[in-house]
Chains A and B, each alone.
Chain A
Amino acid sequence: MKHLLDVQNLSVAFRGDDRRERTVVDRVSFHVNPGEILCIVGESGCGKSVTALAIMDLLSRNGRITEGSVRFDGRELIGMTAGEMDQIRGSKMTMVFQDALTSLNPVFTVGRQLTESLRVHQGLDKKEAAKRAVTLLEKVGLPDPATMMKKFPHQLSGGQRQRVMIAIALSCDPKLLIADEPTTALDVTIQSQIMSLTRDLIHELNMSMILITHDLGLVAEMADRVIVMYAGQIVETADVYSLFHTPAHPYTKALMGAVPSIYDSSDRQLASIRGTVPENYTELSGCRFADRCDHACEDCRSGAKSEGTFSVSAEHTVRCILYAPESDKEVTSCV
């Protein structure tokens, strides 16, 4: 199958106050198939959002892509002029952010913001755009779309705002929707409404989606395939069933053990991961999770295979020395 999005060895660096550049996303490679929902999961500060912003060419001024390639629908995005990128961003490839209140412009009505992209990208006139906007608002399940068009963002609830954001994102029939923690600020009941709506729309419109989240529950509900990120690197890639039933990387396993379940009545302690994500993680050699890992040994920090990625099965790869071939002996000494 031809990939819709192909990211190869993408690295992003940010210049700090001291003018030194720090690599935040480190040689990340993945792809998105047509019609699939890919989840990127990890804790805050592990580079999920930066990866998405880099793909959309929305990095802030002190950040830049230092290497790698991003191919979307057969075209290389890196090195594109701003004008060429403008035609893709917001039209073929769109993004929904976590905080809908700050993403919407407070001084324009919903209608104005929704018709803007239709007029710019699709060349519709005012009347046609308004007509299409009403059908879009209907599609995202907003009651009374005609009055909704005249409302300002502050007059809407959090869930309604996020629905408007989705309507704007879908307005130009994009091929790829990137959603960055779209429901983190919402209540669970509203989250489940928005997520089932998004999933239905993605399938109905035959689009692909990258969903960035830290919530493993949401991953299980939404994803076809999953990427687990830690400290700027991809540590595990798998389809959603393999990931939840046979997680490989110690970090993935630890994350799953740390989620309290509402059905668990045993009085056990939650498995927590000691310590925190290291700062300045690019300066670490070998596995970046080693300091928090129960299976860590000397080889993890300095061994030849400590930075390798190995496959567990056909579609399941993991960045952990425990899965290195012909090193079984080494491994047992490790554990």
Chain B
Amino acid sequence: MSNQLIVENLVKYYPIKDGIIPHTIAEIKAVDGVSFSIEEGTTLGLVGESGCGKSTIGRQIVALEKPTSGSIFFEGEDLTQMTASRLQEKRTNLQMVFQDPYSSLNPRKKVFHILADPMIHHHICTKEEAPSRVDELLDMVGLNRSAKDRFPHEFSGGQRQRIGIARALALNPRLIVLDEPVSALDVSIQAQILNLLKNLKAKLGLTYLFIGHGLGAVRYISDRIAVMYMGKIVELADADTLFTHPLHPYTKALRDAAPVPDPTLRDRKSSALTGEVGSAMDIPSGCRFKNRCVHACAGCSAVNMELIEAEPGHFVACPYALRFAETPKSAKGGAEHV
């Protein structure tokens, strides 16, 4: 299978301006040299703490923000070098579902218009065809057809997220960026939406970039997962191996911090992280995680955080990772508990 999306050395710096004549005094390095690819028909999960740059990557892929440097190849074409009109055409193939189902739908438009207007604008269908196409979309996301005559405020959070998904599907996209689509929802509703997304992917052959901080949800929906820390990918592996056999100390800490719904495991030994994520304005030299890392050593200041293929298909940005890696055997022990 071919790579549908290739991101190469993506960088996004936000300038901080100050002074009477505003000039740049510092830069927030939100995304600092990130490369990955997504195969057609698969899901890449992107996890990390808030402020690590995962949403910024998503927004750049759907061209809501312009990268400072780097390339984003979608089906072979570089989105960052495209003319505005070509980008406009390509955009229908790249859609996004946002975290907050309350603020991402126009409160003054009925659901019919939320779904039909973009299709008519992009000539996906004519005005006459729109009603039947809207019905089809509502069926697809499991909403009643009568929903089209109502306003967003008349729906619950889970239903609104279904409308957001229907809107993303309206333009027949090939890649959808899902930016924390279930974080604002209750567990029972979260499960409904995750199942819906998984079924839609299989049915329509979609490719997903799933951004999230709930590790369980990301694990459930993803084929591969990338872990981000302070604007860099620190580990990238198959979803099956990432949490059972993590290599980077940060991935391990992230996994151990997630509460496990089994009280007999509550006193398990955990590599709990101390301290908090540093400021993206003042990034430490060498490994960015070294100040919180339990294995930090003198050599860490010279680490350049390039991804190394430590095991086949398993990339990690720590040259010492294999030294502290858990053997897969003990990881299996962890899996048995759950």
Residues of A within 8 A of B (CB): 43-44, 157, 159-160, 187-193, 195-196, 214-223, 240-241, 244, 254-265, 269-274, 276
If A193-B273, A265-B240 touch, whether A217 touches B259 (CB-CB below 8 Å) is yes
- The answer, among A188, A263, A264, A274, for a CB contact under 8 Å with B257, is A188
Whether B261 lies near A270 (C-beta < 8 A) is no
Chain B 225-253 interface residues, beta-carbon cutoff 8 Å to A: 239-240, 243-244, 253
Per-residue 0/1 for B208-222: is the Cβ within 8 Å of any A Cβ (1 yes, 0 no)?
Answer: 000001111101100
If A192-B259, A270-B194 touch, whether A261 touches B188 (CB-CB below 8 Å) is no
Whether A241 lies near B263 (C-beta < 8 A) is yes
Q: Can you name 16 extra interface pairs (CB under 8 A) apart from A195-B259, A244-B262, A265-B335? A: A187-B49, A187-B213, A188-B213, A189-B257, A192-B272, A193-B274, A214-B187, A221-B259, A255-B188, A257-B191, A260-B217, A261-B219, A261-B261, A262-B215, A263-B337, A264-B219
Whether B263 lies near A220 (C-beta < 8 A) is yes
Chain B 291-338 interface residues, beta-carbon cutoff 8 Å to A: 334-335, 337-338
B259 to chain A, nearest CB (A): 3
B275 to chain A, nearest CB (A): 9
Main secondary structure of the interface of B (DSSP, over half): helix
Q: Which residues of B contact A244 (CB under 8 A)?
A: 261-263
Q: Which residues of A contact B198 (CB under 8 A)?
A: 269
User: Interface residues of B, CB < 8 Å — how many?
Assistant: 49
A36 to chain B, nearest CB (A): 14
Q: Which residues of B contact A270 (CB under 8 A)?
A: 191, 194-195, 220
Most chain B C-beta atoms within 10 Å of own C-beta, residue among A159, A189, A215, A221: A189
If A187-B50, A187-B213, A218-B259 touch, whether A271 touches B191 (CB-CB below 8 Å) is yes
Whether B257 lies near A191 (C-beta < 8 A) is yes
- The answer, among B49, B195, B217, for a CB contact under 8 Å with A272, is B195
B192 at interface (Cβ–Cβ under 8 A)? yes
Q: Which residues of A contact B257 (CB under 8 A)?
A: 188-189, 191-192
Whether B216 lies near A262 (C-beta < 8 A) is yes
Whether B272 lies near A196 (C-beta < 8 A) is yes
> What 4 A-B pairs are tightest by C-beta distance, nearest first?
A217-B259, A272-B191, A260-B220, A260-B216
Q: Which residues of B contact A256 (CB under 8 A)?
A: 261
Most chain A C-beta atoms within 10 Å of own C-beta, residue among B49, B189, B240, B244: B189
Q: Which residues of A contact B261 (CB under 8 A)?
A: 216-217, 219-220, 244, 256, 259, 261
Q: Which residues of B contact A196 (CB under 8 A)?
A: 272
15 pairs across A/B with beta carbons < 8 Å? A43-B187, A160-B276, A188-B49, A188-B254, A188-B257, A189-B253, A192-B273, A221-B263, A244-B261, A244-B262, A258-B188, A262-B219, A264-B220, A272-B192, A274-B192
B270 at interface (Cβ–Cβ under 8 A)? yes
Chain B 83-102 interface residues, beta-carbon cutoff 8 Å to A: none
B186 at interface (Cβ–Cβ under 8 A)? yes
Whether A221 lies near B219 (C-beta < 8 A) is no
- The answer, among A259, A269, A271, for a CB contact under 8 Å with B216, is A259
If A43-B188, A219-B261, A244-B263 touch, whether A263 touches B335 (CB-CB below 8 Å) is yes
